[in-house]
Amino acid sequence: MKLSVAIVVVSLVLAASEVTEEDDVLVLNKKNFDDVIKNNKFVLVEFYAPWCGHCKALAPEYSAAAKKLKDKGSLVKLAKVDATVEDELAFKHAVKGYPTLKFFRNEQPIDFGGERDSDAIVNWCLRKSKPPVEYIESLDSCKQFIDKATIAILGFIKVIKRLLSLLFRIRTPWIWQISKKWPTS
């Protein structure tokens, strides 16, 4: 009898922390929120209120974005929290209005800064989930990178290291005059 009661209690605890999905969107609560954020590198979380008109308008776009990301095999997961029920989570994450979207990258939240249609959500998430630096090792890959980038800052690290090394060895006077770090003599 005691064993069956223990099994029922453990089952209830596990069921409460289990993550469910609605239209490819993870449904989070205070019991599973931290686990989902910890176990997924990238999670976009919508804090919503069921009565909110903007939330209702976002719902189909958000679901469509979740499906597109899933179909692409992206590591980004989309999730939602009913902030009227999970008010502690909403308070913890400084939710002041609905819907509020927060992107968690390696457990660190940032505010969503994109448009609220499915394609824009997908593109924003894919950009935020890329590595912060992209290494380019050939002229062709450089051209491709520049063609797809809005802003590109290229650093020729090996060339700069060699140039600085040379400048330090010969102590070119005009460099030190400009920097005002070393005398020109």
**Residues with Cβ within 8 Å of residue 152, at least 6 apart in sequence:** 145, 146
Q: Which is the catalytic residue, given 53, 73, 113, 155?
A: 53
What single string gives the DSSP state of each residue in the chain? -HHHHHHHHHHHHHHHHPPEEETTEEEE-TTTHHHHHHH-SEEEEEEE-TT-HHHHHHHHHHHHHHHHHHHTT-SEEEEEEETTT-HHHHHHTT--SSSEEEEEETTEEEE--S-SSHHHHHHHHHHHTS-S-----SHHHHHHHHHH-SS-----HHHHHHHHHHHHHHT-HHHHHHHTSS---
Q: Is 142 a catalytic residue?
A: no
Nearest to 171 by CA among 181, 159, 160: 181
Q: Is 93 a catalytic residue?
A: no
> Which residues participate in catalysis according to the annotation?
52-55
